[in-house]
Amino acid sequence: MLDFITPHDRPAVLLIDDDLVSREVMATMLTMSGHPVQTAADGPEALELLTVKGCVPSIILMDAQMPGLSGVPLIAQLRAHSQARLYVISASHTPDEVKAAADGFILKPFPPESLTRLIEEREELAHPPAAPRLDPGEVVVNPETLAQLREMMPEKAVRQIYEAIVADLDRRTTALKSAIANADWTETRRIGHAIKGGGSMAGAVQVVRLGEWIESGAFETAAVNQSDNASVILADLRAAALNLQRMLDAELKV
């Protein structure tokens, strides 16, 4: 068994492969990418690492075809002793039931970046970025848009436009909270699109950015962090509305 200890903060990997050369090459690739790696030559050795030797990987990579304990039975036992995500690697055809039992599949041989990319993509899905927070220094309203509106209509009419956006943002924030609670992602995207559209017409920079993030479907791919993301985006929408109101009070005193 080959162990590599690295100082990098990347997911720890348990690599299971009965071929010594493949095992050493892949372990080296992973280590050079910053992943702590422990290796096993077969299923029983891997299970011993998990149950006796305190191995706690975040990711398990296992060859699809090995002598003895292998395939779906090995996957079942590995899952019984570990919460790690499990990816199957193989140089040939892999049975569909093995692929279905794993969290992913990669065909050997593969370039070093393929393995790293697979791991990083799954990491992003499992731990998506949180909703964007408002930058205290960010412009609330595009000054050019505000100037154009002032040229086109009286101050009172300009103020009414922004007051309507503030009121609409309050209503849509309430509707968004309900849509998220009901996991209605179609409605969530629709609300995001409406928020973005309303803000765009008046150059409300913060409102547009938040609307774009919601419309992107981020809540659908952020299932693990839905609660955190929901509280952040709702708070930011309320803050954006407050910032617009403050702009009105400062710039458009009618």
- Please give the full DSSP string across 133-152, using - where no structure is assigned: PPPTTS-SB-HHHHHHHHHH
Would you say residue 97 has pLDDT above 50?
Answer: yes
Report the pLDDT averaged over residues 53-67.
89
Q: Do 45 and 15 reside in the same domain of the chain?
A: yes
The answer to whether residue 131 is domain-embedded is no
What distance in Å separates the CA atoms of residue 168 and residue 204, rounded to the nearest whole number?
13
The answer to whether residue 93 is domain-embedded is yes
- Which of 76, 100, 126 terminates a domain? The answer is 126
Structural domain total, the chain? 2
Report the pLDDT averaged over residues 135-163.
89
Candidates 233, 247, 251; CA nearest to 140 is 247
Residue 208: what residue type?
A: V
Residue 103, judged by CB atoms within 10 A of its CB (0-12, 13-18, 19+), counts as middle
Q: Do 194 and 236 reside in the same domain of the chain?
A: yes
pTM for this predicted structure: 0.50
What is the structure's pLDDT at 6? 39
Q: Do 75 and 113 reside in the same domain of the chain?
A: yes
What is the structure's pLDDT at 22? 87
Question: What tokens does 198 get?
Answer: 């309303």
What distance in Å separates the CA atoms of residue 19 and residue 160, rounded to the nearest whole number?
72
Candidates 195, 210, 202; CA nearest to 251 is 202
Rg from Cα positions in the chain: 26
The domain that holds 95 is classified in CATH as 3.40.50.2300
Q: Do 112 and 74 reside in the same domain of the chain?
A: yes
Most confident option among 136-145, 178-187, 206-215: 206-215
SS3 89: strand
Range of the domain at 203: 143-251
- Sheet (strand 3-4) strand order: 3-4, 37-40, 13-16, 59-63, 85-90, 104-107
Prior bond to 109 cis, omega within 30? yes
Residue 37 parent element (H or E): strand 37-40
Name residue 107's beta-bridge partners: 90
What is the structure's pLDDT at 226? 56
What distance in Å separates the CA atoms of residue 245 and residue 67, rounded to the nearest whole number?
69
Residues 1, 37: contact at Cβ < 8 Å?
no
What is the structure's pLDDT at 122? 62
Q: Do 11 and 102 reside in the same domain of the chain?
A: yes
Per-residue pLDDT band at 7 (split at 50, 70, 90): very low
Question: What tokens does 192 get?
Answer: 């995001």
- Which of 126, 161, 191 terminates a domain? The answer is 126
